[in-house]
């Protein structure tokens, strides 16, 4: 059984019933939640970092799971002790606003993190989401992250690199800070939710102007709720030469069927086989 410590790095879950439903589902899946109390107050950035430190320092904690995303995880970055995280490697999981923690934690510690459903997403999860999540927690016995997921190829090819990525608007906000995502030799996945096309265009154009695609080995476009993935691809293709494979997988993002992605794993993207294959990974707490 995995002992789970719930953290509040972003917004609060508004309804207690949504929180308890997620806790109940975790118990059903065989997890033991160490702190099942419903959080009612949003911690300060310093307190969010302290909560993360407590979770990593606790020898009884196997996995650290965010209750939800939203905004403000990035405010805790200056207060996080990355050396402590490196000394006590554990699974940390979340997505959306958590992209601002998952990528810097991997890059500063070398510890793989999980772009995964959170407490709020586990109130009524699909079989696919649960299967992918449990596969991750077990250390990925199934190596093909795209298994059972639809994949559309926009630019063919085979590439290997370090898997990184997450929410586009969140990662864009970190560009030119001490915590920006390094993209050299990376296979990037990007997703967003309820942004207009011109806003997504603006974010991606900033990535292009900042040179963030220059060293990229491959790109996975996830779900961009309200915008077709082809439109997102066209924003890039109209401004730069895409000399790396690009695919669309709708199971990455704010979606019902969700792939749990290991940030920091060495992967191979093969558009011919429509596979995203884990080649090498040092995973904390795999059982």
Q: Is residue 161 part of a domain?
A: yes
User: 162: domain CATH number?
Assistant: 3.50.30.60
pLDDT at 1: 59
Asked if 40 and 109 sit in the same domain, the reply is: yes
| Whether residues 247 and 162 fall in one domain | yes
Q: What's the average model confidence in pLDDT over 190-196?
A: 97
- Same domain? For 184 and 224 the reply is yes
Is the predicted pLDDT of residue 287 greater than 80, yes or no?
A: no
Average predicted confidence (pLDDT) for the chain = 96
Q: How long, in residues, is the chain?
A: 287
Q: How many domains does the chain have?
A: 2
Residues 121 and 180 in one domain: no
- For residues 16 and 38, is the Cβ–Cβ distance under 8 A? yes
- Give pTM, 2 decimals: 0.97
In a domain, 243, yes or no: yes
In whole angstroms, give the CA distance from residue 114 to residue 254.
Answer: 15
Return the pLDDT at 55: 98
- Give the gyration radius of the chain's Cα atoms: 18
Residue 50 lies in a domain: yes
Same domain? 183 vs 252? yes
pLDDT of 183: 98
Q: What is the pLDDT of residue 285?
A: 61
The answer on 118 and 168 residing in a single domain is no
pLDDT more than 70, % of the chain = 99
Q: What is the CATH number of the domain that holds 60?
A: 3.40.50.10740
Note whether residue 134 is domain-resident: no
Looking at the structure, tell me whether residues 255 and 157 fall in a common domain.
Answer: yes
For residue 254, is pLDDT > 70? yes
Predicted pLDDT of residue 282: 86
Which structural domain, as residue segments, surrounds residue 14? Answer: 2-125
Q: Is the pLDDT of residue 44 over 80?
A: yes
pLDDT score recorded for residue 21: 96
286 pLDDT more than 60: no
Handedness of CA 196, 198, 202, 208 (dihedral sign): positive
169 shares its domain with 107 = no
Whether residue 101 is contained in a domain is answered as yes
Q: Is residue 272 part of a domain?
A: yes
Judge contact between 287 and 136, C-beta under 8 A.
Answer: no
Residue 132, in any domain of the structure: no
Confidence bin at 188 (pLDDT 50/70/90): very high
Q: Are 225 and 194 in contact (CB under 8 A)?
A: yes
Q: pLDDT above 90 covers what percent of the chain? A: 97
- The string of DSSP codes covering 199-263 is HHHHHHHHHHHTTTTTT--EEEEEEEETB-HHHHHHHHHTTS---S-EEE-TTSSSSSS---EEE
Handedness of CA 210, 94, 121, 17 (dihedral sign): negative
**Residue 113, pLDDT above cutoff 50:** yes
pLDDT value of residue 48: 98
Q: Are residues 233 and 195 in the same domain?
A: yes
Tell me if 133 is assigned to some domain: no
Q: For residue 178, what are its two tokens?
A: 């001490």
| pLDDT tens string 66-99 | 999 999 999 999 999 999 999 999 999 999 999 9
């Amino acid at each position: 059984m995995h002992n789970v410590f719930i953290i509040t790095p972003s917004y609060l879950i508004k309804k207690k019933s949504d929180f308890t439903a997620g806790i109940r589902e975790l118990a059903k899946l065989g997890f033991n939640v160490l702190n099942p109390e419903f959080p009612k107050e949003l911690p300060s950035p310093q307190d969010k970092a302290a909560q993360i430190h407590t979770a990593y320092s606790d020898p009884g904690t196997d996995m650290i799971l965010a209750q939800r995303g939203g905004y403000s995880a990035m405010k805790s970055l200056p207060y996080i002790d990355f050396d402590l995280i490196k000394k006590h490697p554990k699974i940390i999981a979340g997505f959306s606003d958590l992209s601002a923690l998952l990528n810097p934690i991997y890059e500063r510690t070398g510890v793989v993190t999980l772009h995964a459903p959170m407490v709020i997403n586990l109130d009524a999860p699909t079989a696919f989401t649960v299967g992918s999540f449990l596969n991750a927690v077990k250390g990925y016995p199934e190596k093909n992250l795209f298994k059972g997921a639809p994949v559309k190829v926009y630019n063919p090819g085979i590439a290997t690199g370090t898997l990184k990525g997450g929410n586009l608007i969140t990662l864009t906000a970190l560009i030119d800070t001490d915590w920006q995502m390094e993209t050299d030799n990376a296979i990037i996945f990007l997703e967003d939710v309820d942004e207009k096309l011109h806003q997504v265009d603006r974010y991606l154009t900033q990535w292009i102007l900042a040179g963030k695609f220059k060293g990229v080995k491959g790109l996975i476009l996830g779900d961009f709720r309200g915008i077709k993935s082809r439109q997102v691809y066209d924003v890039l293709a109209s401004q730069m030469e895409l000399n790396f494979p690009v695919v669309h997988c709708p199971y990455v993002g704010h979606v019902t069927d969700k792939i749990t992605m290991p940030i920091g794993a060495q992967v191979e993207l093969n558009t011919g086989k429509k596979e995203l294959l884990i080649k090498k990974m040092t995973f904390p707490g795999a059982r």
